[in-house]
Amino acid sequence: MTSRGGVAVPAGRQPAQGADGEPVARVSGLVVEIPGRRIADGLDLEVAAGEAVAVMGPSGSGKTTLLNTLAGLNRPAAGVVEICGRSLHDATQDAAARLRLTRIGMVFQFGELMPELSVLENVALPAMFAGQENAAARAGELLDLVGLPGYGDRAPEELSGGEAQRAAIARALVCRPQLVLADEPTGALDETNAQRVTRVLLDACREGGAALVVATHDTAVARAMNRTMLLRSGRLHATTAGAGEPGAAS
């Protein structure tokens, strides 16, 4: 392991192609509109299995909207979004929901654990929805992996912000997704917890061979990824993380 920006990352970590050579996520000519504005305007992106990509950009540039579109939660006005070679937007609602449940894991800024369920139940829930056997055992393994052994019976309200975020990462990975989308996963954390959550997110995705796309304002998080893209004027531009992001919040 090496350390970049205070975040430990595996040495020599290289993007890998999927078994069939296809990118896990392929976005081409994407156009996403909100009233009076184009958030994406001919946007292209490819992310390979095992690759980690940071998306940076000023507040309001459309990072969350882009992740939601990758997850099939927004319908684009034009363009192609394929996850593992399949279009979420051309699929039936049921097929898209199934694809989202089994192929995509999502991590949000505030963890978004369900307060009425235990930590273990939260982590196991997507696997139970997907009808997978041994969901609880898998959830327990993942809690170990993210550094929360023995936390399964706790209520989410008993967790710190960093612990809740690590539980949310475990939940995102429980169905062994090919793509993990993380929206400001460290935005609510102090520097120490942000580093730990970043390391856990990277290591857990690598362990599962998942592609990772992280929307972030944090240059330390971006530096830990394989590459960083800047969302500007509706397109993604290759950039060097840490070189300074105009309008970044942190």
Interface residues toward ligand ATP, by CB under 6 A: 34, 39, 57, 59-65
Q: Report the distance separating Cα 163 and Cα 169, nearest Å.
A: 10
- Pick 10 or 60: Cβ nearer ligand ATP: 60
Beta pairing partners, 28: 80
Shortest reach from residue 67's CB to ligand ATP, in Å: 8
Tokens 């929901």, located at residue: 97
Q: Which is nearer to ligand ATP, 73 or 101 (CB)?
A: 73
Q: 29 CB contacts (<8 Å, ≥6 apart)?
A: 42, 43, 44, 78, 79, 80
CB of 24 to ligand ATP, least distance (A): 22
> Minimum distance between the CB of residue 238 and ligand ATP, rounded to whole angstroms?
18
Closest to ligand ATP by CB, 24 vs 70, is 70
| End-to-end CA separation in angstroms for the chain | 26
Handedness of CA 204, 103, 163, 109 (dihedral sign): positive
Shortest distance (Å) from residue 43 CB to ligand ATP? 13
Residues pairing with 213 in the sheet: 53, 181
C-beta closer to ligand ATP: residue 61 or 122: 61
